[in-house]
Structure 1
Amino acid sequence: MYFYDKPYDFYQIRQVIETEFFSEREFLNPITSTPTFLILKEPKIKNVEDAFDSILEQFADLNLLPFLRTPTLLELDMLGEAAEKGKYYSLLIVPKPQEEIQPENIKLNIILFVCTLISVFFAAWLYFIFLGADPLNMNTQFNSIFKLLPILIGYGLSILSILGLHELGHMAACRMHKTRTSWPYFIPLPMPPLGTMGAIIKQKGLVKNRNELFDIGLFGPLVGFLVTCIVLSVGLYLTEPITTADYVTFMNILYPYLPRELVELWVLVLLTTPQLPLMPIFYILDPIFFPGTITYNFYARSVAPILLPDVIIFFHPLAFAAWVGLLLTALNMLPFGQLDGGHVSRAVFGDVGFTINISGIPRRIELYKIIGLISLGIIFYISPVFGFIVLVLSRGISHPGPLNDVSPISKKRKFFFFIFLTIIALSFPLGTLWVFF
Structure 2
Amino acid sequence: MSDEQLPQPPSDNIIIVQPSDYQTEVNDYSPQRPSHPVPVRVPRSRVPLILFVLTCLSTLIVGGYHQPFVPTPNGFLNLYAFIQHVGWSTFLTHGISYAGPVMLILLSHEMGHYLQSKRYHIPATRPLFIPMPISPFGTMGAVILQRGGVANRKQMFDIAVSGPLAGLVFAIPFAYWGVLNAKVVTVIKQAGSYSYGEPLILQWMISLVHGPLAENQEVQLNPMLFAGWVGIFITALNLLPIGQLDGGHILYTMIGKPANLIARLFLTFGVIYMIYIDEFGYSLLILLLVFFGITHPPTADDSVPVGPKRIIIGCLTLAFFVIGFTVTPIIFH
**Would the TM-score normalized by the shorter structure come out above 0.5?**
yes
Q: Match of 1:383?
A: 282
- TM value normalised by structure 1: 0.58
Any idea what SS the aligned residue of 2:140 has?
Answer: strand
Q: Which of the residues 145, 148, 161 maps onto 2:91?
A: 148
The share of aligned pairs that are identical, in percent, is 27
Structure 2 residue ranges without an equivalent (≥5): 1-28, 70-81
Question: Which residue type is aligned with residue 349 of structure 1?
Answer: I
Map of 1:94-109 to 2, 5 A cutoff? Answer: 101=41, 104-109=43-48
Q: In 2, Cα distance between the equivalents of 1:151 and 1:419? A: 34
Contact kept? 2:68, 2:134, Cα under 8 Å? no
Q: Give the CA deviation at 1:147.
A: 2.0
Structure 1 counterpart of 2:138: 195
1:122 aligns with 2:122: no
1:396 is matched with which residue?
A: 293
Counterparts of residues 231-250 of structure 1 (less than 5 Å) = 231-242=174-185
The answer (yes or no) to whether the contact 2:192–2:332 under 8 Å persists in 1 is no
Classify the secondary structure of the residue corresponding to 1:188.
strand
Distance apart, 1:367 and its partner CA = 2.6
Task: Tell me how far apart the structure 2 counterparts of residues 399 and 320 of structure 1 sit (CA, whole Å).
Answer: 33
Cα distance in 2 for residues equivalent to 1:335 and 1:342 = 4
Alignment of 1:327 onto 2:233 = yes
More helix by share: 2
| Cα shift at 1:373 | 3.2
Residues 344-383 of structure 1 aligned to structure 2 (within 5 Å): 344-352=250-258, 366-371=260-265, 373-374=267-268, 377=271, 381-383=280-282
Distance 1:203 1:60 in 2: 28
- Is 1:277 the counterpart of 2:197? The answer is yes
- CA distance 1:411–1:313, change in 2 (3 Å): closer
Residues 375 and 210 from structure 1, CA distance in 2 versus in 1: closer, same or farther, beyond 3 angstroms?
farther
SS of 1:269's equivalent in the other structure is coil
Offset of residue 415 of structure 1: 0.7
Number of equivalences: 288
Match of 2:120 in 1: 177
Corresponding position of 1:136: none
RCO higher in 1 or 2 (8 Å CA, sep ≥ 6)?
2
Q: Could you say which residue in structure 1 is the equivalent of 2:167?
A: 224
Q: Indicate if the aligned counterparts of 2:48 and 2:127 stay in contact, CA closer than 8 A.
A: yes
Unaligned runs of 5+ in 1: 1-57, 66-95, 131-138, 245-266, 295-301, 354-365
RMSD, aligned α-carbons = 3.4
Residue 154 and residue 142 in structure 1: after superposition, are their counterparts in 2 closer, same or farther (change >3 A)? farther
Q: Would you say the 8 A contact 2:153–2:253 is kept in 1?
A: yes
TM-score (normalised: structure 2): 0.74
Give a deviation string over 1:282-327, Cα, whole Å, max 9, x none: 1111122212x33xxxxxxx2xx2xxx5x65312111011111111
User: Which residue identity does 1:233 align to in structure 2?
Assistant: Y
- Cα distance per residue 1:210-269 (max 9 Å; x no partner): 221111111100111121001101111221335x5xxxxxxxxxxxxxxxxxxxxxx523
Contact 1:124–1:192 at 8 Å: present in 2 too? no
Aligned to 1:328, the other structure's residue is in SS state: helix
Contact 1:182 1:204 in 2 (8 A): no
Q: How does 1:251-262 map to 2 (within 5 A)?
A: none
Instruction: Kindly state the Cα deviation for residue 149 of structure 1 after the two structures are TM-superposed.
Output: 0.6
Partner of 2:49: 110
Distance in 1, matches of 2:193 and 2:53, equals 35
- Residue equivalent to 1:157: 100
**Greater Cα radius of gyration, structure 1 or 2:** 1
